[in-house]
Amino acid sequence: MTDHLIEVDRLTKRFPVHSGLLRRQTGAVQAVNEVSLTIRRGETLGLVGESGCGKSTLGRLIIRLIEATSGSVLFDGQNLTQASRDDLSKLRRRMQIIFQDPYSSLDPRTPVGNSVAEGLKVHGSSETSEQHKQVGQILERVGLQRAHAQRFPHEFSGGQRQRIGIARALVLQPDFVVCDEPVSALDVSVQAQVLNLLRELQRDLGLTLLFISHNLAVVEHLSDRVAVMYLGEIVELTDRDTLYQDARHPYTQALLSAVPVPDPMRRGKQTILQGDVPSPLNPPSGCKFHPRCPVARKTCLSTAPELRDIDGSGQHQVSCHTVNT
């Protein structure tokens, strides 16, 4: 038994683009490009990046909600990308996902108790009365009441719905949960409640989390390690404290400097990125970040940098030519 629950190896996803009268494939969106990372048992890996950088796609690829174009995912030593239908359905019990939008993540025509119980029904692990009991327990665990099981999603607030989504993900007692921006659609006050709930649940149930967010503060609050994504690639991956104090990739530095600091005297060293994120249909040559990079060199235009260790311990990986080891 390794201490790595998830091992992602050169995972790639391209979405083909069809156009014209004959719907011929005219290009492909590089949503995720050769991403490799590992997630340790029991840790929270934060995944940050701008909208459209492929972080949600990566999350869904890892639990095989969408099929990868190439690359592989090992889940607890088992190859998930090659798993047969039966094996996959067994593995599904052990990994779950919490969605961003609490309004589209619950079936509006199903009482929430049935939504939560679906996993139990699919895996046929227990009798109906036992299922009711389990649903009641998990609802109480996420801060709702047993009787709420009969109600419909439209009778709940956004925060409550997100709790229901969490209950649905946890009722099968999974090992690994992908949290796909679980709080970004909620009010700030409710965000804190949901984050604390997630943290508590992780501690009590020993969950391993992949926490996807564009909110650096939220990621800092929750993560053990953080990966930064830009245009489908991981540009920096290290533990939380190192990232927030000693970010090495110019993109990470720019992201961090954009976080507002509630101190008017501490202005100054702010790197503001020029331009927009380039189109993933037609990404820039070499290092994908070079058109916006303040420290780009000649090599950056032609050669793509690889993600490499910079301090020899394997704890801090950066993909940039300008960073010295």
Q: Write down the least CB distance from residue 176 to another protein, Å.
A: 11
Q: Write down the least CB distance from residue 99 to another protein, Å.
A: 4
* Interface contacts to another protein, rule CB under 8 A: 60, 63, 65, 88-89, 92-93, 95-97, 99-101, 104-111, 115, 118-119, 122-123, 145, 147-148, 150-152, 154-155, 165, 168-169, 172
Q: Write down the least CB distance from residue 212 to another protein, Å.
A: 14
Q: Do 72 and 34 meet the contact criterion of CB atoms below 8 Å apart? A: no
The CA distance from 211 to 59, in Å, is: 9
HSE-CB of 67 using CA atoms within 13 angstroms: 7
Radius of gyration of the chain (CA): 21
Q: Which is nearer to another protein, 104 or 315 (CB)?
A: 104
Q: Write down the least CB distance from residue 82 to another protein, Å.
A: 18
Q: Which is nearer to another protein, 24 or 109 (CB)?
A: 109
Q: Which is nearer to another protein, 108 or 260 (CB)?
A: 108
Q: Do 223 and 212 meet the contact criterion of CB atoms below 8 Å apart? A: no
Q: Write down the least CB distance from residue 162 to another protein, Å.
A: 12
Q: Which is nearer to another protein, 25 or 315 (CB)?
A: 25
The CA distance from 212 to 183, in Å, is: 10
The CA distance from 55 to 234, in Å, is: 10
Helices (H) and strands (E) in the chain, counts: 10, 12
Q: Which is nearer to another protein, 10 or 154 (CB)?
A: 154
